[in-house]
Each structure stands twice: as structure tokens, then as C-alpha cells.
Amino acid sequence: MSFRRDSQDPDPFLERTREVLADPAYTGNPLLEQYRELADRYAHVIRTFMKTVHISDGYQLRLKELNAALDEAVRTDYLTGLMNRRAFFDRVRPELSRSRRHERSLCILMGDIDRFKAVNDQYGHDVGDMVLRETARTFASSLRSEDLKVRWGGEEFLALLPETDANGAAAAAEKLRSVIEQSAIDVAGSSIRVTISIGIAEERGDDPEAAIRAADQALLEAKRTGRNRVVVAAP
């Protein structure tokens, strides 16, 4: 609420005082003239106070909004818009406890674009960045909304798939692999195609690092055995 110059006095006592002062019988009384002046100043102080508080609230709201935007920015990978590692580690523990509580399995999927260095070498880093952005978009849209999708490193993507066993994760990974293989990325007059190798591990304990290592090992296995493949880590 705001107090305009013409608005009612915010204090009922002040209102009554003004009524009394308005009585013509008091006109010209020097003491009451002083009193009237005092009432005016008091009203002004209250108005200024309320105004200051109100404007200050607006600025505080702005700071809160900037804080929220900053918080969002430090959790997001700037290039791809996926989560970054920091955001992932904030979310992974609650997800693990939730899946344990419901006795559901959970999988880690680790993907890496095959021979990405060759794209950078042939087309330059700007084109490389576009390929990363497009692959990240495909990565994000092929997975479910409840999956956590992370840019893990340079050309490496990680997803946490809640309530998913190894079979479900392998199916999701195969779909992802196939969509990426079939998508052409049109950039700088060229049509670039990339493939992705994927490793999957089912999380069984409460150690996300162990599952990530297992998925990483499976990913290396996929690379070693020819790339553009999905490998599920042995339980």
C-alpha cells in the first residue's frame, strides 16, 4: 500500500486531532498553530517512513530475483543449458535416498561423442560448440523429464535415470544412440553427423561415485569395442 499526499492520514489519532484543529473557535490561537504545524510534520514523517519501507521492499525483491537467477546460472552449463556437475551432486543424494526408500533401482548413463576431436580439428571450435549444443539438445529430449541430464565434461554427458533398472536404461540408451546416429547437424554449410558411445551402470548402494565409475568403465568398453555402442556394466 502507498500513502499519497492526498490520502487519508494513516493514524486515527492524527485524524481526530485534525478534526479538533479545524474548529473555527481555535483559529488564530498561536499554541494551536504550533500544534497544527506539529501534526503536519508528524504526518509527513509517517508518510516518508512508509514510502521508504515500501520502496526498499521493491529493491529487496530485485536482489532476491538476482540471487535466484545467479543460483540458476551456477547450476547450469552455459553452452548446453544442461545441469552442471555442481547441480548434479546437489540432486544425486536425495534421488538415491528416494530410490532406496521405494526399493527401486536407479541407473547412471554416461555418454561420450565419438571422435569429437576430429570435428573440432576439421571445422573449428565454433562448429564444435554447435555440435555439442545440438547433441545436448537431442540427449535432453530423448530422455524423460524426471531424468537428471548433465554435461559431465567436454563432450561427455551423464544422465541419472530414477526408477529404472539396467534393462530399461539400456533401452533408453539404445534409442538415444540411434537418434543421434540418424540426426544430421546442419552447420556452416556442412551436414555433420556424429555418433555416441554409452556406458550404463545400475546403482545399488548409496555411493554415486561407484556407479559413475562403473558407468565410465562401461563407456570405455563401448569405445574399445568399436564405438557407437551401448554397454551395460556387469552387476
Given the residues 95, 134, 155, 202, the one annotated as active site: 155
Q: Which residues contact 100 (CB under 8 A, 6 or more apart)?
A: 206
* 48 vs 167, beta carbon nearer other proteins: 48
**For residues 59 and 167, what is the distance between their CA atoms, to the nearest angstrom?**
52
Distance CA 37, CA 44 (A): 11
Mask of contacts with other proteins, 36-75, x by CB under 8 A?
-----------xx--xxxxxx-xx-xxx-x----------
Instruction: Using the rule CB under 8 A, give the single segment among 2-10, 18-26, 130-138, 206-214 that binds other proteins.
Output: 2-10
Tell me how many residues contact other proteins (CB under 8 A).
18
CB of 82 to other proteins, least distance (A): 26
- Whether 155 sits among the annotated catalytic residues: the reply is yes
Nearest to 143 by CA among 164, 128, 113: 164
Q: How far is the CB of 80 from other proteins (least distance, A)?
A: 24
Chain length of the chain: 235
C-alpha distances in Å from residue 2, one per residue of 15, 45, 49: 18, 14, 11
- Residues of this chain that interact with other proteins (CB under 8 A) are 2-5, 47-48, 51-56, 58-59, 61-63, 65
